[in-house]
């Protein structure tokens, strides 16, 4: 099947590469000429494990191509996939300018039957507004939200656990089955429903996962007050089959391009329809409090120290990505800077240029290794649970630090090993 994908970001590029991998012919279109030139040369503009090889395979096979021209992309395409950005406005609502802009461009190049799939995360009602835009044409608009996790997007794209399809016409079902047949051979993964339901599924799923994280962080704070250990509590809760262990890990809160943006958007949508977003608003507020708790712990540990220095291990919002959007590291860094601390950063994938751009003009330095970041530091905070941070040489860490406090923001270190090296250990909700 011939497919065009509009947007060469995380969602668009992974979607295009996965569809090409299973045999479809895909043209990926993006207005960023430099990005398209790089992709044609086999250079992926962001870090995602396995994606560069998948793109190279698609280009080499002739099933994946890139263009900046909308007419070229849509020519002879049976399916057009919209995967452009839907950034938040200042009030939390969603800016649909890019979605509507691409749809209007498509409208001028449609010459035959076309199915438009909305992959981008969009507020409920967006499908209806695009359907109205294409009224009178042989165009069907289908909501088909993505569920790609940064750091494992290729695996999620090639082996989805479900495929949500919001279609108004049953005549669209056969085309969707043909499109996704390579991904559903073991068992049926496609779930058909109304566009409105499909649009809400994405927001509902992310809100549920974020709620679990915020609840565990709230229980962790309570645990630290009463002498309980949140790791024991987590295991006990997760053993209940009605609950399970996924997303029960306390830490520094959620970040990235999805959870914060999607929860604020859902909060805005519900308020517009007269529904009190009590739970959603509480989850957002709890997530911000988690940053305050860590910053407070740092301030207490450096009380009385002149020109305190803090090393943050990990800048990306999660492992296996270079994405720093809404990253806890940046929030912690900014608040510490406001308190008069100097901050040192280290990350195995995020570049110094990225960190400098995000924290321009601040007293932040970027170290090439986590140990170099810790040299002369009063406090070390584990922010991102990169694999290479799991078992540091604590004795060497103590030797290079000025202070002696480590904050385990992901509860992955052994208190016994830390304290044996002469360091003071602070975990999240640890006894």
Q: Which residues are catalytic?
A: 258
Q: Is residue 357 within 8 Å of residue 335, measured between CB atoms?
A: no
What H or E segment, with its residue span, contains residue 156? helix 153-158
Distance CA 99, CA 126 (A): 9
What H or E segment, with its residue span, contains residue 219? helix 195-226
List C-alpha distances in Å: 146 to 203, 259, 420: 11, 13, 46
Burial of 308 (0-12, 13-18, 19+ CB in 10 A): buried
DSSP state of 162: -
Distance CA 241, CA 87 (A): 37
Q: Is residue 143 within 8 Å of residue 168, measured between CB atoms?
A: no
Backbone angles phi, psi at 411, to 5 degrees: 50, 45
Distance CA 406, CA 397 (A): 10
Helix (H, G, I), strand (E, B) or coil at 70: helix
> Position of tokens 């656990």?
161
N-term to C-term CA, the chain: 57
Q: Is residue 288 within 8 Å of residue 216, measured between CB atoms?
A: no
Q: How many CB atoms lie within 10 A of CB 245?
A: 12
Q: How many CB atoms lie within 10 A of CB 209?
A: 16
What H or E segment, with its residue span, contains residue 380? strand 379-382
């Amino acid at each position: 099947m011939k497919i065009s994908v509009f947007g060469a970001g995380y969602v668009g590029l992974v979607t295009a590469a996965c569809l090409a991998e299973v045999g479809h012919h895909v043209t990926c279109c993006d207005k960023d000429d430099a990005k398209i030139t790089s992709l044609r040369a086999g250079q992926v503009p962001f870090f995602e494990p396995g994606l560069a090889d998948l793109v190279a395979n698609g280009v080499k096979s002739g099933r994946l191509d890139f263009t900046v021209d909308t007419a070229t992309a849509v020519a002879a395409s049976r399916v057009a996939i919209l995967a452009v950005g839907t950034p938040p406005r200042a009030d939390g609502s969603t800016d649909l300018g890019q979605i509507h802009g691409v749809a209007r461009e498509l409208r001028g190049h449609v010459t035959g039957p076309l199915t438009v799939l909305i992959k981008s995360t969009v507020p409920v009602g967006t499908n209806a507004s695009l359907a109205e835009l294409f009224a009178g044409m042989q165009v069907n608009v289908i909501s088909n939200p993505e569920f790609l996790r940064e750091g494992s997007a290729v695996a999620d794209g090639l082996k989805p656990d479900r495929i949500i399809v919001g279609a108004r016409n049953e005549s669209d079902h056969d085309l969707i089955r043909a499109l996704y047949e390579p991904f559903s051979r073991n068992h049926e993964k496609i779930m058909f429903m109304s566009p409105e339901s499909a649009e809400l599924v994405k927001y509902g799923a992310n809100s549920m996962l974020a709620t679990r994280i915020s609840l565990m962080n709230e229980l962790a704070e309570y645990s630290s007050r009463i002498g309980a250990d949140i790791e024991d509590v987590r295991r006990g809760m997760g053993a209940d089959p009605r609950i399970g262990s996924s997303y029960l890990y306390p830490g520094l809160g959620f970040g990235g391009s999805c959870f914060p943006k999607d929860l604020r958007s859902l909060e805005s949508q519900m308020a517009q329809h007269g529904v009190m977003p009590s739970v959603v608003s509480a989850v957002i507020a709890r997530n911000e409090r988690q940053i305050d708790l860590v910053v407070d712990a740092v301030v207490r540990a450096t009380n009385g120290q002149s020109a305190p220095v803090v090393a943050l291990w990990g800048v990306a919002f999660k492992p296996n990505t270079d994405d720093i959007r809404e990253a806890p590291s940046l929030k912690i860094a900014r608040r510490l800077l406001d308190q008069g601390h100097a901050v040192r950063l280290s990350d195995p994938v995020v570049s110094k240029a990225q960190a400098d751009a995000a924290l321009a003009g601040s007293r932040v330095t970027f170290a090439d290794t986590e140990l170099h970041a810790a040299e002369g530091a009063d406090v070390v905070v584990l922010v991102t649970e990169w694999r290479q941070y799991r078992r540091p040489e604590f004795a060497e860490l103590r030797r290079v630090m000025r202070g002696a406090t480590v904050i385990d923001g992901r509860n992955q270190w052994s208190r016994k090993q830390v304290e044996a090296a002469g360091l003071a250990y602070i975990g999240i909700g640890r006894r």
